[in-house]
Amino acid sequence: MNQAYQERDVYTAIADPTRRKLIRLLAEADELSLYEITPHFQIGRTAVSKHLAILKSADLVTNRKTGRETRYQLNAAPLQEVKDWLSFYEQFWNEKAKLLKDILEE
């Protein structure tokens, strides 16, 4: 898989715990600036900005300029792909659990 594709891949973007925390933070807020986001992490503003750039390249984050400030907002639509992928395995494990329950009840 080439580097450009990996940077746009939603699974690569959410693989990092810091980025998952960023997604959660943006989901709980309407819109946040880098200045408002940074205190939630034990990393510097530059590192937070790099994580936001990766999320943006995966289309998970949008941004808009307001004067000298950039405000970030979650775009949750690409997470539907993850949800769909996980739902298959949820159904798989539910069926296995039901089968085990049936066997144990016999």
Tens digits of residue pLDDT in 23-57: 999 999 989 999 999 999 999 999 999 999 999 99
pTM beyond 0.75: the answer is yes
Q: What is the 3-state secondary structure (H, E, C) of the chain?
A: CCHHHHHHCHHHHHCCHHHHHHHHHHHHCCCEEHHHHHHHCCCCHHHHHHHHHHHHHCCCEEEEEECCEEEEEECCCCHHHHHHHHHHHHHHHHHHHHHHHHHHHC
CATH class held by domain 3-75: mainly alpha
Q: Where are the domains of the chain?
A: 3-75, 77-106
